[in-house]
Amino acid sequence: WEFDRFDYTAQGEGVFDGNPCYIYQRTPRKPEYSIYSRQIEWIMKDGFRPVKTVYYDKAGQELKRLEFTDLRTDSNGILYAWRITVRNVQDGHRTEITRQWLALDGGMPDQYVTTRGVEKSVEFYDYPANLKELWANARRDQLAQAQKP
């Protein structure tokens, strides 16, 4: 949260994807602080994690929605979104990121934690050693789910 650049106003409470949330409006104090006129954010009551944001263009019209869904807790009790979706409601474009697996504390070498490394396709990685197997299993499971009636 950027309290020096934005004003935050409580808008009430609601439920998103089964999660009770606080709803806040975030408005830039100066127009140059944001490309959006305002944002409406749904913040989970349990853990204060953002799960949905609606962005409004400079004309005040809804522009896009960012949603974090399929929330799962790992063995350490940390919550992760397994699906992240951004929809432009003005032109219909949609981008969706679906997490296939999550490996934590695996000791990944620093050489992979770079912008260039993150932009590479999974085909270029050799860490962890079973990465290609993990990827193949995830794709198989995804295709099997898609074929279910």
User: What is the value of pTM for the model shown?
Assistant: 0.70
Can you tell me the distance from the alpha carbon of 112 to that of 96, in angstroms, rounded to the nearest whole number? Answer: 24
More confident residue, 56 or 118: 56
pLDDT confidence bin for 145, thresholds 50/70/90: confident
Which residues, including other chains, have CB under 8 Å from residue 139's CB and lie 6 or more apart?
Answer: 100
Torsion of CA 108, 51, 31, 27, to 10 degrees: -140
For 60-93, the pLDDT digits (tens) are 999 999 999 999 888 788 888 889 999 999 999 9
Are 98 and 86 contacting, i.e. CB atoms less than 8 angstroms apart? Answer: no
Which residues, including other chains, have CB under 8 Å from residue 7's CB and lie 6 or more apart?
Answer: 26, 27, 29
pLDDT at 111 over 80: no
Burial class, 79, CB count within 10 angstroms (exposed 0-12 / middle 13-18 / buried 19+)? middle
DSSP one-letter code for 16: E
